[in-house]
Amino acid sequence: MAEKTGEQHVKYLLNAHGITPTQQRIKIANFLFKKQQHVSADQILSTINQGQQPVSKATVYNTLGLFANKGLLREVIIDPNKVFYDTNTKHHHHFYNTDTNTLTDVNDGEITIQNLPALPKGTDFHSVEVIIKVNNQ
């Protein structure tokens, strides 16, 4: 997703995805879509609550879930307790640094997946996503 700024554009984006643009959703979307990024719910919460109108933790989590369900974000699940929200909605792979707790994109074309197993009966192929866990030397 290209850089997104401006409240009117955010309202349009939310409406185009069937999301009612409430004040809290606009605030969260303004933060998320100003650039392509990988952020956790806690990072969003601490950043947007530095202003005068705080947003509750439940609102942040619910809004992120809604945005992901409507296709505005991708959830990248590192483990059951660690989820990042990616503003790049195209299928792609990631590096996760376990020391710095950061997620970065793997450049397109750097990973080739071959010899996938036969799919279970009654299913269709959707995507393959690779998360390469790294640490600092």
Binding residues for Fe cation: 91
Rounded CA separation 56/66 (Å):
15
Complete edge-to-edge strand list for the sheet that includes strand 94-97: 102-105, 94-97, 131-134
Residue environment code for 11-40, b if the CB has 16+ CB neighbours within 10 A, otherwise e? bebbeeeebeeeebbebbbbbbbeeebbbb
Residue positions forming the annotated binding site: 91
Contact indicator for 71, 89 with CB cutoff of 8 Å: yes
